[in-house]
Amino acid sequence: MASAAGAQARVVPPRAQREKRLARKDRAVRRRGLFAVALLALGLIGLVWLHVWLRLQVVHVGYVLSTTSKLQNRLEQENRELKVELATMTSPDRLEALARQRLGLVQPEKGQVVVLP
């Protein structure tokens, strides 16, 4: 008798079965919706991280470009100064004066210059 009473207790009326099925479907729909919202939130967080990373890269490249530009300007100025110094050091008048003062050289006499054919 105990088994017959247990069997009767397990029998679920059709209305209750339908409600359980609907509840299961409703939970599944809610889970899918929650999954979709979570996926969308993760996607948005990923986009925000990407945006922040890109902005940081732009700032970093800006600093590098600024430093490189300053270096280029400094090197161009140094190049101009070195060209002026080279022109000064190799000027014929300066070289002639150095040759006279330091080496004691003088202009050759007319007979001292021999032109080779």
Q: What are residue 16's phi and psi, to 5 degrees?
A: -65, -40
Confidence at residue 26, expressed as pLDDT on a 0 to 100 scale: 83
Contact 98, 92 (CB under 8 A): no
Q: Which residues contact 18 (CB under 8 A, 6 or more apart)?
A: none
Domain range list for the chain: 11-100
Confidence at residue 19, expressed as pLDDT on a 0 to 100 scale: 80
* Separation of first and last alpha carbons in the chain: 143
Whether the per-residue pLDDT at 5 is higher than 60: the answer is no
Q: With CA atoms as reference, report the closest residue to 89 among 112, 81, 27.
A: 81
Q: What are residue 76's phi and psi, to 5 degrees?
A: -65, -40
Given pLDDT bands bounded at 50, 70 and 90, which one contains residue 15? Answer: confident
pLDDT tens column, 41-99: 999 999 999 999 999 999 999 999 999 999 999 999 999 999 999 999 999 999 999 99
pLDDT tens column, 25-35: 888 888 899 99
Global pTM exceeds 0.95: no
Whether the per-residue pLDDT at 21 is higher than 60: the answer is yes
Q: Which residue is associated with the tokens 């993760």?
A: 42
Contact 74, 68 (CB under 8 A): no
Tell me the mean pLDDT in the region 100-110. Answer: 91
Distance CA 87, CA 80 (A): 11
